[in-house]
Structure 1
Amino acid sequence: MGCVKPETPDHSRSPESNDHVSTPKHEANERGWQAKALGADNALRTAVDRVRPAAHSVGQWLAPLLQRLMQWLAPLLQRLMQWLSPLLQRVQDAPAVRRLRERVAPHVPESVKKAPRLRSMQVGAGIAAVGVVGLIIGGVAGGNDEHDVEEAAVAAPIEQQKADPPQTRAETKSQAQAEEAKQDAPLGPPVEGIDVSNHNGNIDWKKVAADNKKFTFVLASDGTDFSNPKYSEQYHGAKDAGLIAGAYHFARPDDSDGATQANRFLDIMDYKNDGKTLPPVLDLEVDPNGGSCYGMSVDQMHQWTKSFNDTVKQRTGKDPIVYANPSFWKQCMGSTDTFKDHDLWLAAYEVDSPTVPKGFQDWDFWQYTDKGEVAGVAGNTDINQYKEGFERLKQLAS
């Protein structure tokens, strides 16, 4: 046989070579598939862009909700364990149980003997886990980075180990009541009250209460020299009639320093934390003799006010309520937010809704008229609203 040269393969016809074939029809099909793929990709991106804000909003709404749930659940479980621990200990120490344990102990395997301890450890670990979850969710909701969350998770078991020893049932109940008292009372409809001074004279407080007025502020002192001669009669008369009462001091920063006037005011007021007394009030207004800021700069007014407020806080444990109107706060206080955490008693007449001075988030009390007519009070008097309802007013007085 002769040597036959192998036929050169026809690569143009092999299946592997079809990708390299370029025809108008093939190119059209390829462009069609590319267009479809690009369209699908764009549609997917558009859908993701539309869903992302909603998902982010849901996350922002859900995170604080879960955080509050964990914050509520963790102390509840801890209180439950604190309540159960002494009870279980008393059962374990009972003579009958002790005798039974002594009889049964020799016949119980070691693994079973350790079971109660294991269960206690598991419960403790569960409480610690709740704390860790709460801290982690709190960190996410607050925008902390991963490092902060890891530190919180590591710290939680350590804090659990440092927990106070088991308390008695009475102590646990007292602690629970104290924690409940710290929570906000339910929000209610606004309630009305009046503020009075020596100019209002004798007041029939029972008639005031019957006129559905729930609180009053009484002038106690003015500057360094004046005190309301009717103060004790008006203040205690209001309390005796069932009203929640507070006292206010008319500030005169050019008379003396803030601490001096605060101490004099508190001596006259005779503040008592009896559940019926509102925090002391600092009445800040322009100089009645000249309409100015008592010849003081904005910074000097800040310092005077801070001195007064700090003295009140030191002696009563309460931040004083600040009384002011928008024009004074702008003119004499420079719209500062230094006192934004104080309750604001805002004076604004003949308006449907008062303008809150820059530096405060909102008003708490609103003196909306100085021409009010109230049963039991001769002539016109100031009428005020407390916006958050009677239950929170009582809480403010506690």
Structure 2
Amino acid sequence: MRSRLRAWTARLGVITAAAGALAAAPAPSTTAAPLPEGSAEHFAGSQIAKHEGTTRTARSLAPFGEVPGMDVSSHQGDVDWEQSWADGARFAYVKATEGTGYRNPKFTQQYNGSYDIGMVRGAYHFALPDRSGGTEQADFFVSNGGGWSVDGKTLPGAMDMEYNPYGETCYGLDQAAMTRWVLDFSNRVLERTQRYPTIYTSTSWWNRCVGGTVHFGLTNPLWVAHYAEELGPLPVGWDYQTIWQWEAAGLFPGDQNLFNGDADQLVRLVMG
């Protein structure tokens, strides 16, 4: 499963150029709306685990060779970062926002705590493409923790694209409209942070709801969820993953992740 980390910045502009082919696609509504009453927390993989399940049988240590990491949300509360570091985690993604109406109340403890213990860390956004536009949600994300800085410790922000927790799997959008939404979010994050966001997803959801009209693999790092002994096929548009979320729970709080490379390659990703 290992592959060499590739340079993203050499391919700037590919996604923007590809957007022209989708000009005729209807854009999702840009009217903001709060999360439905009673909603509390949707973390990365919550809907993937629900819809796709897991076939993992080994529930202990990560496969040998990659850099281990974790992702957390308010579901984990105050994280014991010293223990997570002692257990081997070296990077973390922290949920910041969902839609345009939710901010993780534990974000500061989790985001600053992972940094203070020595991890590289980044923020992620749980996307709700049927509730507001990609540009609007990107602005909400970046303004509430989803920024990036050249400090050697900050991962590019991530957009969590997965099954709709409130209704129809693809949020009522066809592939052209969903692709346009992802482009709008991605390009807005690039505009505001100078980095393309990482895309978190599963192969099944992405291939069904987004497809391959635009090959986001040319610009956006892939964080793929698949809870099995082997990674399996990747979403259309990517020929390697940057991060594999390989287990929904385990040694570290939250979900278990593997960076596809060594510590030096992780630093190069962080620096852009």
Quickly name the TM-score band, shorter chain normalised: 0.7 to 0.9
Aligned to 2:197: 320
Aligned to 1:364: 242
CA distance in structure 2 between the aligned counterparts of 1:266 and 1:325, rounded to whole angstroms: 23
State how 1:1-398 maps to structure 2 within 5 Å: 189-269=65-145, 270-341=147-218, 342-374=220-252, 377=253, 381-398=254-271
Residue 199 of structure 1 aligns with an amino acid whose one-letter code is: H
* Deviation of 1:351 (Å): 2.8
**In angstroms, what is the RMSD of aligned CA positions?**
1.4
* Deviation of 1:227 (Å): 0.8
* Deviation of 1:358 (Å): 2.0
Residue 256 of structure 2 aligns with an amino acid whose one-letter code is: I
Moved more, 352-361 or 224-233: 352-361
Q: Please say if residues 154 and 270 of structure 2, whose CA atoms lie closer than 8 Å, have aligned partners that are also in contact.
A: yes
Q: Please say if residues 215 and 236 of structure 2, whose CA atoms lie closer than 8 Å, have aligned partners that are also in contact.
A: no
The alignment of Structure 1 onto Structure 2 pairs a total of residues equal to 206
Q: Report SS of the residue matched to 2:129.
A: coil
* Deviation of 1:337 (Å): 4.1
Q: Report SS of the residue matched to 1:213.
A: coil
- Unpaired runs of 5+ residues, structure 1, are 1-187
* Deviation of 1:273 (Å): 2.4
Q: Report SS of the residue matched to 2:90.
A: strand
* Deviation of 1:231 (Å): 0.5
CA distance in structure 2 between the aligned counterparts of 1:242 and 1:212, rounded to whole angstroms: 11
- Unpaired runs of 5+ residues, structure 2, are 1-63
Residue 223 of structure 2 aligns with an amino acid whose one-letter code is: W
* Deviation of 1:272 (Å): 2.4
CA distance in structure 1 between the aligned counterparts of 2:217 and 2:267, rounded to whole angstroms: 22
Q: Please say if residues 148 and 195 of structure 2, whose CA atoms lie closer than 8 Å, have aligned partners that are also in contact.
A: no
| More helix as a share of residues | 1
Task: Report the TM-score, using the length of structure 2 for normalisation.
Answer: 0.73
Q: Please say if residues 337 and 358 of structure 1, whose CA atoms lie closer than 8 Å, have aligned partners that are also in contact.
A: no
Residue 238 of structure 1 aligns with an amino acid whose one-letter code is: S
* Deviation of 1:291 (Å): 4.5
* Deviation of 1:244 (Å): 0.4
Q: Report SS of the residue matched to 1:313.
A: helix
CA distance in structure 2 between the aligned counterparts of 1:268 and 1:217, rounded to whole angstroms: 14
Q: Please say if residues 284 and 322 of structure 1, whose CA atoms lie closer than 8 Å, have aligned partners that are also in contact.
A: yes
Q: Please say if residues 336 and 358 of structure 1, whose CA atoms lie closer than 8 Å, have aligned partners that are also in contact.
A: no
Q: Report SS of the residue matched to 2:144.
A: helix
CA distance in structure 1 between the aligned counterparts of 2:200 and 2:213, rounded to whole angstroms: 14
* Deviation of 1:302 (Å): 0.7
CA distance in structure 2 between the aligned counterparts of 1:360 and 1:395, rounded to whole angstroms: 19
Task: Report the TM-score, using the length of structure 1 for normalisation.
Answer: 0.50
Higher RCO structure (Cα 8 Å, ≥6 apart): 2
Q: Please say if residues 220 and 247 of structure 1, whose CA atoms lie closer than 8 Å, have aligned partners that are also in contact.
A: yes
Residue 211 of structure 2 aligns with an amino acid whose one-letter code is: G
Q: Please say if residues 134 and 184 of structure 2, whose CA atoms lie closer than 8 Å, have aligned partners that are also in contact.
A: yes
* Deviation of 1:397 (Å): 1.0
Alpha-carbon displacement from aligned partner over 1:28-59 (angstroms, at most 9, x marks no partner): xxxxxxxxxxxxxxxxxxxxxxxxxxxxxxxx
CA distance in structure 2 between the aligned counterparts of 1:371 and 1:383, rounded to whole angstroms: 6
CA distance in structure 2 between the aligned counterparts of 1:336 and 1:320, rounded to whole angstroms: 18
Q: Report SS of the residue matched to 1:305.
A: helix
Q: Please say if residues 337 and 360 of structure 1, whose CA atoms lie closer than 8 Å, have aligned partners that are also in contact.
A: no
Residue 316 of structure 1 aligns with an amino acid whose one-letter code is: T
Q: Please say if residues 179 and 214 of structure 2, whose CA atoms lie closer than 8 Å, have aligned partners that are also in contact.
A: no
Q: Please say if residues 91 and 119 of structure 2, whose CA atoms lie closer than 8 Å, have aligned partners that are also in contact.
A: yes
CA distance in structure 2 between the aligned counterparts of 1:346 and 1:218, rounded to whole angstroms: 16
